[in-house]
């Protein structure tokens, strides 16, 4: 079968993109290396869209939860992942969880039965030089292809490990305790939020880092390098009592307006998105367990009521510096026939990866049909996530991101406890209008 589009990677994103394209009449070649003699360290089977860890797609509550809203938007677009998920669903309260084998079986059945899709079990080692292509090879992209991507994009543009510092919703920071200032008033002077600590608070916090329960690396992640610039905060703490005070918690050049003096130590947060709604804790990448992070980081003055858009982590994870490398349509700048989709674009999670695969499919279908692409509204879950990875995130500190309300344009006029509902209502209305403008899928 001569193909219109080559999709590389039969995971969540690649399968979803193939489905969306095939339903719109495009002939798809889907290359998946598992089943063709290669595998990844995490996958166990040869099945398409294998869930490598948890069997949960997280919350299905589309009124109060951003990932639940993303589920709803995907269902409205007849998502393959949501369709197979419904067929394989197992009870999980307000979350959506699936039987992983049945889920993969359903995906494979729907794709193999589609006359527009050819599934080839092969590893692809280089980016095709021409023809519409979607690369969806995921967080464990085969080494040969990863090297080829580095050659095409430049050194340090493709990361092989993430080093995620926790990200805080700005509106939950107590600005009566914290203040905005850059060290020595450099930059525009307001680039950082500073949380001050006295000696007693610092010593208790340091001890908390040493005592806190950590997650361990998987066997095949054990050689994860600790680069000096992204060493876990607790590893740095273990080097000595003052290491952090001379590192990420350095107080010099920062005058606490309440005392007029430098504090004993500071925790600094830096803006993480253009909207200014998300701030990351600088240098706080960590392997502490999530519950431990929330407990300990809420002991930091000014963060007592912090809500986290995402918590810290460190994993094997192949991802592009997408805000720098990709255009708003997920195309590689300078090689527009190549689109990226899924976790390799720097979104994170099964659902987010599938959603970006779905969008890559729609974009490619519009291109093949000679139609102008209209992005989903930024006020919707899909639009907010897409905008973040394709330019709204800060490229210099770009790390993988889940969908969350901090990516949505803020609604400061709405009372805090009503805000989630307000975000989802606005999203539903505007996403609905966007759907009306989409080309209908042929029967």
Ligand X SMILES: Cc1cc2nc3c(=O)[nH]c(=O)nc-3n(C[C@H](O)[C@H](O)[C@H](O)COP(=O)(O)OP(=O)(O)OC[C@H]3O[C@@H](n4cnc5c(N)ncnc54)[C@H](O)[C@@H]3O)c2cc1C
Which residues contact ligand X by CB under 6 A? 8-14, 31-34, 40, 42-43, 52-54, 123-124, 136-142, 145, 342-344, 348-350, 353
360: left (phi over 0), alpha (psi -120 to 50) or beta: alpha
Nearest-approach distance from CB 140 to ligand X, in angstroms: 6
| CB contact at 8 A, 74 and 82 | yes
Residue nearer to ligand X on the CB measure, 100 or 378:
100
The number of C-alpha atoms within 13 Å of 36 and in the hemisphere containing its C-beta is 14
Residue nearer to ligand X on the CB measure, 160 or 264:
160
Residue nearer to ligand X on the CB measure, 31 or 379:
31
**Would you tell me how many other CB atoms lie within 10 Å of the CB of residue 321?**
19
Q: Which residue is nearest to ligand X (CB)?
A: 11
Nearest-approach distance from CB 56 to ligand X, in angstroms: 7
Whole-number Å distance between alpha carbons of 79 and 361? 11
Nearest-approach distance from CB 33 to ligand X, in angstroms: 4
| CB contact at 8 A, 32 and 119 | yes
**Would you tell me how many other CB atoms lie within 10 Å of the CB of residue 385?**
28
Residue nearer to ligand X on the CB measure, 145 or 380:
145
Residue nearer to ligand X on the CB measure, 31 or 286:
31
Structure tokens at 333: 């700048």
Placement of tokens 């107590």 in the chain: 174
Nearest-approach distance from CB 87 to ligand X, in angstroms: 19
Residue nearer to ligand X on the CB measure, 266 or 363:
363
Residue nearer to ligand X on the CB measure, 8 or 269:
8
Nearest-approach distance from CB 134 to ligand X, in angstroms: 10
Q: Can you list the alpha helix ranges (DSSP code H) found in 165-198? A: none
Residue nearer to ligand X on the CB measure, 236 or 384:
384
* 33-39, Cβ contacts within 8 angstroms, sequence gap of 24 or more: 33/121, 33/122, 33/123, 33/124, 33/142, 34/10, 34/121, 35/121, 36/120, 36/121, 36/122, 36/123, 37/123, 38/123, 38/142
Nearest-approach distance from CB 112 to ligand X, in angstroms: 15
Strands (E), 312-433: 313-320, 331-332, 335-340
Nearest-approach distance from CB 123 to ligand X, in angstroms: 4
| CB contact at 8 A, 339 and 364 | yes
Nearest-approach distance from CB 283 to ligand X, in angstroms: 24
Residue nearer to ligand X on the CB measure, 45 or 259:
45
Helix (H) or strand (E) holding 169: strand 167-169
Find all residues with CB under 8 Å of 155, minimum gap 6, and list them.
none
Nearest-approach distance from CB 326 to ligand X, in angstroms: 14
Nearest-approach distance from CB 377 to ligand X, in angstroms: 24
* 298-302, Cβ contacts within 8 angstroms, sequence gap of 24 or more: 299/201, 299/204, 299/205, 299/208, 300/195, 300/197, 300/205, 300/267, 301/177, 301/178, 301/195, 301/196, 301/197, 301/201, 302/173, 302/174, 302/175, 302/177, 302/178, 302/193, 302/195, 302/196
Whole-number Å distance between alpha carbons of 31 and 14? 9
Residue nearer to ligand X on the CB measure, 11 or 406:
11
Residue nearer to ligand X on the CB measure, 144 or 207:
144
Nearest-approach distance from CB 332 to ligand X, in angstroms: 16
SS (H, E, C) 19-67: HHHHHCCCCEEEEECECCCECCCCCCCCCCCCCCCCCEEEECCCCCCHH
């Amino acid at each position: 079968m001569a193909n219109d589009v080559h999709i590389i990677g039969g995971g969540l994103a690649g399968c979803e993109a193939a489905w969306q394209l095939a339903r719109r009449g495009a002939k798809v070649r889907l290359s998946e290396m598992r089943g063709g003699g290669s595998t990844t360290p995490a996958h166990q089977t040869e099945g398409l869209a294998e869930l490598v860890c948890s069997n949960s797609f997280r919350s299905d509550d589309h009124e109060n939860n951003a990932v639940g809203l993303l589920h709803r938007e995907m269902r409205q677009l007849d998502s393959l992942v949501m369709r197979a998920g419904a067929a394989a669903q197992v009870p999980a309260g307000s979350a959506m969880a699936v039987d992983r084998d049945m889920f993969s079986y359903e995906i494979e059945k729907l794709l193999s039965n589609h006359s527009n899709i050819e599934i080839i079990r092969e590893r692809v080692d280089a980016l095709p030089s021409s023809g519409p292509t979607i690369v969806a090879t995921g967080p464990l992209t085969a080494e040969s292809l990863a090297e080829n991507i580095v050659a095409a994009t430049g050194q340090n543009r493709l990361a092989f490990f993430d080093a995620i510092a926790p990200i805080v919703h700005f509106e939950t920071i107590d600005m009566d305790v914290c203040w905005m200032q850059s060290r020595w008033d450099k930059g525009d002077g307001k680039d950082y939020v500073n949380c001050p600590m006295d000696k007693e608070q610092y010593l208790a916090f340091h001890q908390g880092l040493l005592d806190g329960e950590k997650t361990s690396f998987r066997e095949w992640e054990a050689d994860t390098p600790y680069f000096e610039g992204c060493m876990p905060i607790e590893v740095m703490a273990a080097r000595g009592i003052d290491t952090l005070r001379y590192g990420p918690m350095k107080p010099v050049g920062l005058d606490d307006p309440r005392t007029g003096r430098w504090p004993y130590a500071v925790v600094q947060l830096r803006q993480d998105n253009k909207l200014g709604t998300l701030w990351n804790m600088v240098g706080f990448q960590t392997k502490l367990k999530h519950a431990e992070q929330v407990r300990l980081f809420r002991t930091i003055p000014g963060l007592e009521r912090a809500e986290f858009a995402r918590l810290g982590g460190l994993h094997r994870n192949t991802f592009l510096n997408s805000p720098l490398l990709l255009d708003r349509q997920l195309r590689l700048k300078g090689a527009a026939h190549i689109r990226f989709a899924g976790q390799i674009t720097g979104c994170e999670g099964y659902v987010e990866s599938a959603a970006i695969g779905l969008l890559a499919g729609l974009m490619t279908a519009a291109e093949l049909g000679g139609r102008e692409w209209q992005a989903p509204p930024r006020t919707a879950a899909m639009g907010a996530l897409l905008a973040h990875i394709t330019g709204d995130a800060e490229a210099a500190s770009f790390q993988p991101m889940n969908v969350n309300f901090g990516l949505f344009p803020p609604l400061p006029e709405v009372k805090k406890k009503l805000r989630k509902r307000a975000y989802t209502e606005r999203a539903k209305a505007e996403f609905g209008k966007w759907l009306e403008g989409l080309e209908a899928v042929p029967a």
